[in-house]
Amino acid sequence: MSFDLAARLAARRAENLYRQRPLLESPQGPQVVVDGQPLLAFCNNDYLGLANHPQVIEAWRDGASKWGVGGGASHLVIGHSGPHHALEEALADLTGRPRALLFTTGYMANLGAVTALIGQGDTVLEDRLNHASLLDAGLLSGARFNRYLHNDADSLAKRLEKATGNTLVVTDGVFSMDGDLADLPALARETKAKGAWLMVDDAHGFGPLGANGGGIVEHFGLSQEDVPVLVGTLGKAFGTAGAFVAGSEELIESLIQFARPYIYTTSQPPALACATLKSLELLRSEHWRREHLQILIRQFRHGAEQIGLELMDSFTPIQPILIGDAGRAVRLSQMLRERGLMVTAIRPPTVPAGSARLRVTLTAAHSEAQVQLLLEGLADCFAQLKSEPSHA
C-alpha cells in the first residue's frame, strides 16, 4: 500500500483547482514584479500601504542593530524582550483592553486561544464561513463543534440552546473571501444572553475599520463585555507579521499558562516588534490612509457595477467579483495578467463550490488612476470572457 500522490495532484489539475506560488521579485506595493513580469497588483492584504514604508523599514533596521535578529527562545524562557512587551502594551491601548498577548502567526493565535479556553465537555459554535484556522482550532479543541449559518444570529441562538459546558462562539470580523462584516451587535446579544463568550478574529478589520483603525469592535462601538476575546493579525494592515489576542487580565494570563502554540514556540524577532510599533503609530495617526482607501472602494464599486460585474456586499478593501465556475475565474485572472494586472482567482475549497471569484483587494498605496486602469481592464476582459464558450 502506498500514497498515490500523483493521482491526487492530477485530479486537482483536472478540476481547475491546482495552486501555484507566484514568485514575487520586488517589495509589496501596487507595482510589483512577479515571475519576471512587471504587474499592477490588486491581491495583497497590505491595506494601509505600510509593508514597504520607509519609517517601518528604518525601525526594523534600528531594532536589529539594538536587539539582534532572533527571538532566541520562547517567551516563557528568555525570549520575551523589551520590544515585545512595548508592542503588547501598545496593542492593548489600541483595543482599549487591559492586556494583549503576541503570537508568531494568526493561525497560532486562533489555535492557542480556542484550545486554551475550551475542551472536552464544552461547546464551540462557529460561523460557516470562518477562516480555516478558526475551524481547525474548533475541531482540535476536543469540544462539541457546530457551525451556524453565515452571519445568522437566529441560527446561532438555536445552537446555543443545545450547548453544554463552557460555550465559545467564534466568528471572523471581516470575512476574508466575501469582504462582509459579522453582525457583531446581534451575535453579542445572543451570546451574552446564554452566558457564552464571543471570540472575534478581526484580521482584516484592524486598520481599515473604526475611527482610529481599531477594527470592527470600534466600528460597532462594542465593549470587552460584548467581545471578551479579540484577535488581530499584524501581517495585513499593520504591514509586518505576527498576531495578538487582546482581553482581560485573566484571559491573557490564562493564555500564557495554557495556550500551547504560545508556550512552545520561539518568540518573533524583537526587531519585528520594533517595526510593528512604528506601523501601529502610523496606523493611528495618519487618518488619510483610511480616508483615501474609502474613496478607492467607492470608485471601484461604482465602476464595477457599471460594467455589470457581480460584486458582494462589502464596503471593506476586499472586493470579490463572483464568477461561479473555477475555470472561468482562472481564465479571467490570466486575461488580466496578460494586460499587466494581477488579481487572484479564488477557488474551492477556499470558497464554496460554484462560487469561484476574483478577489480584488485595494490599498491606501493605490491611486485613483490605478483603480481606473483595473476597471478598464476588467471591462475589456469580462466582455471577452462572456463571448467565449463555457466549459463548465
Q: How far is residue 23's CA from residue 91's CA, in Å, rounded to a whole number?
A: 32
Q: Does the annotation place 204 within a ligand binding site?
A: yes
**C-alpha pair distances (Å), 39 with each of 22, 302, 341, 381:** 12, 24, 5, 16
Answer yes or no: is 107 a known binding residue. yes
Q: How confident is the model at residue 24, as a pLDDT?
A: 96
Contact call for residues 170 and 130 (beta carbons, < 8 A): yes
- Do residues 323 and 346 make contact, with C-beta atoms less than 8 angstroms apart? no
Q: According to DSSP H, which parts of the chain are helical?
A: 5-14, 54-67, 82-95, 106-117, 132-140, 153-161, 184-193, 216-220, 249-258, 260-263, 270-285, 288-307, 326-338, 368-387
Coil, strand or helix: which one is 364? coil
Residues belonging to the active site: 176, 204, 236
Is 104 annotated to bind ligand? no
DSSP state of 79: I
The CA dihedral of 355, 311, 227, 274, to the nearest 10 degrees, is 100
**209 beta partners:** 206
Distance CA 49, CA 39 (A): 17
Encode pLDDT of 208-258 as tens digits.
999 999 999 999 999 999 999 999 999 999 999 999 999 999 999 999 999
Counting as low any pLDDT under 70, the low residues of the chain are: 1, 390-392
131 is in an annotated binding site: yes
- Burial classification of residue 392, based on how many CB atoms lie within 10 Å of its CB (0-12 exposed, 13-18 middle, 19 or more buried): exposed
The reported pLDDT for the residue numbered 392 is 45
Element (H, E) at 229: strand 229-233
Render pLDDT for 16-53 as a digit per residue (tens, 0 to 9): 788 889 999 999 999 999 999 999 999 999 999 999 99
Residue 148 near residue 182 (C-beta atoms within 8 A): no
Q: How many CA atoms lie within 13 A of 97 on its CB side?
A: 29
176 is in an annotated binding site: yes
Least Cα distance to 203 among 188, 189, 182 occurs for 182
Q: Which amino acid is at 252?
A: I
CB distance 228 to 219 below 8 Å: no
* pTM (2 d.p.): 0.95
Q: Closest Cα to residue 238, out of 215, 221, 222, 216?
A: 215
Residue with cell 498605496: 365
How many whole angstroms separate alpha carbon 8 and alpha carbon 12?
A: 6
192 exposure class (CB count in 10 Å sphere: 0-12, 13-18, 19+): middle
Within 10 A of 362 (CB to CB), how many other CB atoms are there? 25
